[in-house]
């Protein structure tokens, strides 16, 4: 028989994340509240759930702990359908609907859900139209990613693709420039034109972007490193380059 963790594999945990979720029109199967934890924003969550006619179950602390997938669910877990990944064309079409140049992030080998969540949060605040991740060698959108993103996954289009290089070639046919991040290049990110239709590729902390993906980029940029540590956290690197593109687009 499956454990409860396996049964409830798609869930959102934490008060802010569940409140963000309740503000959207996304489906919620049910909400679990830890017994004896009815204070503060929990009451607001219960009220909003009742407004939307969502089942709220109050359960004992031990059972609640068995269901929880994060270390600090803050007394509330929302059980949701699996994350609704989109297509790459959905991302491009969103840019067209907004009458904006496509602004896309491609993640090549980001396996840490905390990094994925942080990147999604940054991308959403920066006006990125969508994020592309591979089906292999990548963290998936789960309760940890949602919590770290502070609910930003609910507003961000995320596509899962079989092959990053095939996707890059498809983006090029849509006249989207491909910018890779790589420490071996000579060009600093702030010296590169990051306006216009653009996809920025962020690689893993350990290995960076893969060789074939690197060779398929239109250009490569790097972040200056002055200290003894030779690399930044992937989500920090993403934030630096993403907001340079935002700055250039505002100035344009």
For residue range 166-209, list pLDDT tens digits in order. 999 999 999 999 999 998 899 999 999 999 999 999 998 778 89
pLDDT at 225: 86
Which of 79, 104, 133 is a domain's end point?
A: 79
- Please classify residue 249 by burial: count the beta carbons closer than 10 Å to its beta carbon, then call 0-12 exposed, 13-18 middle and 19+ buried: middle
In the chain, the percentage of residues whose pLDDT exceeds 90 is 62
Domain end, chosen from 79, 99, 130, is at 79
Burial tier of 176 (Cβ tally within 10 Å: 0-12, 13-18, 19+): buried
pLDDT at 230: 66
Which of residues 100 and 4 earns the better pLDDT score? 100
Tell me: do 191 and 114 sit in the same domain: yes
Q: Do residues 57 and 14 share a domain?
A: yes
30 forms beta bridges with 55, 79
Mind giving me the DSSP string for 76-141?
Answer: EEEE-PPP--B-HHHHHHHHHHTT---EEEEEES---HHHHHHHHHHHHHHT--EEEEESSSS---
**Residue 109 and residue 210 share a domain:** yes
User: Are the CB atoms for 152 and 122 separated by under 8 Å?
Assistant: no
Domain that holds residue 71: 4-79
Verify that 10 and 112 share a domain, yes or no.
Answer: no
Alpha carbon distance 7, 9 (integer Å) = 6
How far is Cα 19 from Cα 23, in angstroms, rounded to an integer?
6
CATH number, domain of 185, equals 3.40.1280.10
CATH code, domain with 75: 3.30.1330.30
Same-domain status, 70 and 118: no
In whole numbers, what is the pLDDT of the chain averaged over residues? Answer: 89
Task: For residue 210, give both structure tokens.
Answer: 């893969």
Shared domain check, 143 and 168 = yes
Tens digits of residue pLDDT in 103-128: 999 999 899 999 999 999 999 999 99
Q: Identify any residues that bridge with 227 across adjacent strands, giving them in sequence order.
A: none
C-alpha span between 122 and 44 (Å, rounded): 27
- Enter the tokens of residue 147: 């919590």
Q: Are residues 194 and 98 in the same domain?
A: yes
Q: What is the pLDDT of residues 35-82, one digit of tens each?
A: 887 778 899 999 999 999 999 999 998 899 888 888 888 899 999 887
Are residue 92 and residue 207 in the same domain, yes or no? yes
Among 23, 48, 79, the domain boundary falls at 79
Question: Do 106 and 226 have their domain in common?
Answer: yes
* Pair (101, 222) in one structural domain: yes
Please state the domain count of the chain: 2
For residue 9, name the pLDDT band (cuts at 50, 70, 90): low
Q: Does residue 220 share a domain with residue 96?
A: yes
**How confident is residue 2, by pLDDT bands cut at 50, 70 and 90?**
very low
């Amino acid at each position: 028989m499956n454990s409860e963790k396996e049964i409830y594999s798609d869930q959102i945990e934490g008060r802010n994340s569940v409140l963000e979720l309740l503000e959207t029109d996304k489906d919620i199967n049910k909400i679990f509240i830890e017994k004896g934890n009815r204070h503060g924003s929990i009451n607001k969550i219960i009220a909003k759930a009742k407004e939307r006619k969502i089942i709220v179950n109050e359960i004992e602390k031990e059972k609640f702990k068995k269901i929880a997938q994060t270390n600090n669910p803050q007394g509330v877990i929302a059980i949701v359908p699996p994350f609704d990944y989109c297509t790459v064309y959905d991302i491009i079409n969103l840019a067209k609907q907004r009458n904006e140049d496509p602004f896309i992030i491609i993640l090549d080998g980001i396996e840490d859900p905390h990094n994925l969540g942080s990147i999604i949060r940054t991308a959403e605040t920066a006006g990125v139209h969508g994020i592309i991740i591979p089906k292999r060698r990548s963290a998936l959108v789960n309760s940890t990613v949602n919590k770290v993103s502070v609910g930003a996954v609910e507003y961000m289009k995320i596509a899962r693709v079989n092959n990053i290089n095939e996707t890059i070639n498809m983006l090029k046919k849509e006249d989207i420039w491909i910018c890779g991040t790589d420490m071996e290049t000579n060009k600093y990110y702030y010296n590169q034109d990051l306006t216009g239709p653009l996809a920025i590729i962020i690689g893993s902390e350990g290995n960076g972007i893969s060789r074939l993906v690197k060779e398929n980029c239109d250009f490569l940029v790097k972040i200056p490193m002055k200290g003894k540590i030779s690399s930044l956290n992937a989500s920090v690197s993403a934030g630096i380059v993403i907001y340079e593109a935002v700055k250039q687009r505002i100035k344009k």
